[in-house]
Structures are given as C-alpha cells and as structure tokens.
C-alpha cells in the first residue's frame, strides 16, 4: 500500500518479486512519507526500480529498534 513503514514495504517487495506476480502494490521509497524509516537500510528507488535484497536473510531489512523505542509512548506485554 501507499503509506506504510519499511516493514510493510519489505513484505510488498517480497510479494512483488515472486515469479508470476503481475500486480505489485505501490512501492515508494521510504523518504516519500517518512523523515526516517523504522528499518535499515531504508527503501530507495533508482530509475523506477527497487532492489530486492536477495543477499540478506528474512525480508532483507533490519528493524531499527532504538529508533522504534524513541518513538514509543506506551508499551504493554501480553501473556497467555
């Protein structure tokens, strides 16, 4: 979707990179909506293309936990 963090963008890029996937979602660079994104590296475009991070594990991005904590106003731990 349009307005999402780099975490959601990672899922969109993963889906869009599947063979036979012909209708990718909007893939804007992080800087289009955010001063700073929640992931490293931030998503960028070059000539309308997005690099798929095949060489990195998982979704190819790392959550910037320190930045997320700096934005957190309240946190709750839920246990079963």
Dihedral-angle region of residue 61 (phi above 0 means left; psi in -120 to 50 means alpha; beta otherwise): beta
Count the domains in the chain: 1
Instruction: Classify residue 80: in a domain, yes or no.
Output: no
20-57 pLDDT tens trace: 998 888 888 888 888 999 999 999 989 888 889 889 98
Instruction: Classify residue 47: in a domain, yes or no.
Output: yes
Which of helix, strand or coil describes residue 14? Answer: helix
Report the alpha-carbon angle 62-49-46, nearest 5: 85
Q: Is the pLDDT of residue 75 over 90?
A: yes
Supply the pTM of this predicted model. Answer: 0.80
The pLDDT of residue 49 is: 86
Instruction: Classify residue 77: in a domain, yes or no.
Output: no
Instruction: Classify residue 40: in a domain, yes or no.
Output: yes
Instruction: Classify residue 79: in a domain, yes or no.
Output: no
**Which residues form the domain of 38?**
6-71
The pLDDT of residue 1 is: 53
Decide which of 10 and 3 is more confident: 10
Instruction: Classify residue 15: in a domain, yes or no.
Output: yes
The pLDDT of residue 26 is: 83
To the nearest whole number, what is the mean pLDDT of the chain? Answer: 90
Instruction: Classify residue 28: in a domain, yes or no.
Output: yes
Instruction: Classify residue 78: in a domain, yes or no.
Output: no
Q: Is the peptide bond before 41 cis (omega within 30 degrees of 0)?
A: yes
Please provide the distance, in angstroms rounded to a whole number, between the alpha carbons at the two ends of the chain: 32
């Amino acid at each position: 979707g349009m307005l999402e963090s780099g975490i959601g963008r990672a899922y969109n890029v993963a889906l869009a990179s599947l063979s036979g996937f012909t209708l990718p979602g909007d893939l804007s660079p992080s800087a289009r909506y955010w001063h700073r994104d929640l992931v490293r590296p931030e998503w960028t475009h070059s000539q309308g293309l997005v690099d798929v991070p095949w060489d990195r594990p998982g979704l190819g991005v790392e959550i910037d936990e320190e930045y997320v904590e700096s934005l957190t106003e309240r946190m709750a731990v839920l246990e079963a």
